[in-house]
């Protein structure tokens, strides 16, 4: 059975975007003059590789639209060393040999917050899946990010699935080089909804709000998928989906096992499981699933109070009487998603 949805709704959605004043994210790549084919996105993937990050990495590694230049890892769902092992194993399952670099082990300023592990002790369901043949590279994540951008200015994009500590450290070390990054794609913030780490803060931001504020305050273009976009019932992973993955291809079997602990966690409060990181990766891979975006300026709350980790999104076109001047509206926040298209494509990768 084919899961990839053949849709012509994108043209209609584009018209809706124009009429509603919402902006479409510029995701078109240049065309190679020799072959006439669209060039691949040149990407660095920054991740704290828990099971949902691994699923996002699977989508990226199997896409013919992305060229993964390297994977940088950091603390978050698991320790940095474990995140590296998980990334290496996931790439191996996908038959991709992109280098993996170890990054930050703690936030910029605060102690690392110990949170409930919802992915298992190893971040991958505690199913004895993680036995990679390769090891992480000797160089550090920050230097790799800077060297890669410097070698191909204006062409390298970053997809971040965890805290933004590695990226913030790169900004602090060499802001001029980081300004040459083409775009940063982020799974983070609560969007225009509620948080999951606290009532107002999303997990990735809450881990290091100072890092998020550093990156948000830069003038780099960013595409942000917030937590509010993944709550659509059509985008969630069901028990039936998990069973189909277990009977699917090598990637599907691997991820069905890796999701064991995470699915158990969600079963305590609801029937189905959220897929935030895979959806963030999907925004780059299948841009027509982003039906609406809003141009915003974002700022992360970093005070020692209950608002820590909240991201305030100022919308372009809105009037804020107490703030006559706001920074550049360089953030495209996804506000409407084609959840069915996302789910169909995700399941296709895992089963066909």
Q: Cβ neighbours of residue 251 under 8 Å, at least 6 residues apart? A: 58, 62, 93, 94, 349, 350
SS3 content of the chain, % helix, strand, coil (to 5): 40, 15, 45
Q: What is the pLDDT of residues 254-306, one digit of tens each?
A: 999 999 999 998 888 788 999 999 999 999 999 999 999 999 999 999 999 99
Q: Read off φ and ψ for residue 268, nearest 5 degrees.
A: -70, -25
Whether 24 shows a pLDDT value over 50: the answer reads no
pLDDT band at 10 (very low <50, low <70, confident <90, very high): very low
Instruction: Answer whether 185's CB lies under 8 Å from 160's CB.
Output: yes
- The Cα–Cα gap between 66 and 43 comes to 7
Q: What is the pLDDT of residues 48-57, one digit of tens each?
A: 999 999 999 9
- Residue 40, token pair as written in the block: 């691949």
Whether 324 shows a pLDDT value over 80: the answer reads no
Across the range 337-343, mean pLDDT stands at 97
Instruction: Answer whether 235's CB lies under 8 Å from 276's CB.
Output: no
Whether 196 shows a pLDDT value over 60: the answer reads yes
Burial of 65 (C-beta count, 10 Å sphere; 0-12/13-18/19+): middle
Q: Which residue has the higher pLDDT, 249 or 24?
A: 249
For residue 3, the model assigns a pLDDT of: 44
For residue 61, the model assigns a pLDDT of: 98
Across the range 155-165, mean pLDDT stands at 97
| Domain architecture of the chain: domains with CATH | 40-351 (3.90.245.10)
- The Cα–Cα gap between 109 and 173 comes to 15
Whether 231 shows a pLDDT value over 70: the answer reads yes
Q: How many CA atoms lie within 13 A of 21 on its CB side?
A: 6
Q: Where is 90: in which H helix or E strand?
A: helix 80-94
Across the range 20-24, mean pLDDT stands at 42
For residue 17, the model assigns a pLDDT of: 38
């Amino acid at each position: 059975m084919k899961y990839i949805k053949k849709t012509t709704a994108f043209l209609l959605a584009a018209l809706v975007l124009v009429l509603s004043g919402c902006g479409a994210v510029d995701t078109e790549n240049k065309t190679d003059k020799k072959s006439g084919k669209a060039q691949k996105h040149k990407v660095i993937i920054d991740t704290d590789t828990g099971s949902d990050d691994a699923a996002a990495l699977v989508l990226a590694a199997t896409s013919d639209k992305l060229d993964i230049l390297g994977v940088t890892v950091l603390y978050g769902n698991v320790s940095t060393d474990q995140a590296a092992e998980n990334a290496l194993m996931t790439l191996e399952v996908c038959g991709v040999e992109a280098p993996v670099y170890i990054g930050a082990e703690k936030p910029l300023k605060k102690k690392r917050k110990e949170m409930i592990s919802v992915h298992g002790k190893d971040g991958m369901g505690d199913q004895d899946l993680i036995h990679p043949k390769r090891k992480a590279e000797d160089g550090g994540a920050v230097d790799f990010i800077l060297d890669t951008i410097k070698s191909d200015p204006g062409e390298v994009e970053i997809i971040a699935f965890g805290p933004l500590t590695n990226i913030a450290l790169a900004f602090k070390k060499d802001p001029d080089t980081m300004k040459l990054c083409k775009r940063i794609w982020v799974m983070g913030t609560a969007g225009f909804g509620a948080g999951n780490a606290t009532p107002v803060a999303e997990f990735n931001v809450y881990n290091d709000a100072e890092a998020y504020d550093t990156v948000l305050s830069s003038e780099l273009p960013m595409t942000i998928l917030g937590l509010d976009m993944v709550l659509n019932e059509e985008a969630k992973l069901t028990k039936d989906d998990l069973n189909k993955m277990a009977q699917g291809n090598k990637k599907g079997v691997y991820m069905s096992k890796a999701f064991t602990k995470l699915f158990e966690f969600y079963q305590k409060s609801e029937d189905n499981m959220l897929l935030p990181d895979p959806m963030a990766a999907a925004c780059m891979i299948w841009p027509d699933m982003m039906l609406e975006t809003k141009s915003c300026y974002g700022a992360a709350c970093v005070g020692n109070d209950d608002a820590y980790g909240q991201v305030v999104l100022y919308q372009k076109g809105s009037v804020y009487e107490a703030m006559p001047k706001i920074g550049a509206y360089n953030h495209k926040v996804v506000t409407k998603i084609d959840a069915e298209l996302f789910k169909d494509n995700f399941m296709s990768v895992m089963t066909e």
